[in-house]
Amino acid sequence: MVKLLNHALSCILYGFLWVFAFLPLRLLYIFSDFLFFWVYYVIRYRRDVVIKNLRLSFPEKKNEEIVEIAKDFFKYFIDSFFEAIHILHMSEKDAMTRFKYKNPGLLREIYDKGDSIVLLLSHYGNWEWLASLEKVSPFHFLAIYKPLSDRCINKLYIRIRERFGGETVPMKKAYRKMVAYQEDKKQNITFFLYDQRPLGNELNYWITFMNQDTPVLLGAEKIASKLGQTVVFMKIRKVKRGYYESEFVIISEKPSSSNKFEITNCFYNILEELLKEDPSPWLWSHNRWKYNKVDFVK
């Protein structure tokens, strides 16, 4: 009964958000400003986690600076939620105006060579608006996702990511899908959110990232090496509220010839540069440094 009730409530929430997303973005930002006060000052949602992560990542910064970055993060974090649902009804013209691609010609060059792309992203900027990539790229767009337990909310995120014609694929089926497309000579660009924390049984490789011992995923590097697909990092920068720009950076054109961990290390080096340039639009509320290296490396 409880499970059924929760499902019903999530479906009602889905319907509400679907209608709510019709509002102009400027009105959604008014709700965002209102929620910021409650989330940061009243509910204090993961505020301690954010402050801790920032202090460990930027030990040279004063407490006042850390607090300001934390506030900027929460403003961005809440904005990103409203921006994500807004794409459900966003026009193609508006999407291309608000999320610009600086060098889409690079994708055409890779396509003309007959290659496919493994696109590495982080939880930085507005990664959900990347759904518009289908409109500037000659590739078929694959978005890998981890299915949510609730069907209604899962459906919502699939609609967001397939808004402009891309295709979502569950994480466990991603490799088979990529192999099938390669065998059919269907060139695709597959995006991986690559800065996630590995599960406890996957803590096989650690790096120093943002001044801390950090376990990292290796899946995208392994898949790119097996399939021989070009690896590209997508830099996303926040220009101003509601506007982003992105730039494609080639990490490896021949991943099968790259040294072990080279691709992953390069990804985190670029990401660290972005965070030092502007730390606020990254997912600091995630408990990224939950694990202690000494507990796993003997």
Identify which has the larger pLDDT, 17 or 205: 205
pLDDT range class, residue 109, cuts 50, 70, 90 = very high
pLDDT range class, residue 163, cuts 50, 70, 90 = confident
Mean pLDDT throughout 166-179? 90
CA gap 279, 180 in Å, rounded: 38
Res 296 pLDDT > 80: no
Identify which has the larger pLDDT, 281 or 293: 281
At residue 2, the pLDDT reads 47
Identify which has the larger pLDDT, 2 or 65: 65
pLDDT range class, residue 10, cuts 50, 70, 90 = low
Res 176 pLDDT > 60: yes
Query: pLDDT of 222-277, one tens digit each?
Result: 999 999 999 999 999 999 999 999 999 999 999 988 999 999 999 999 999 999 99
Mean pLDDT throughout 41-47? 95
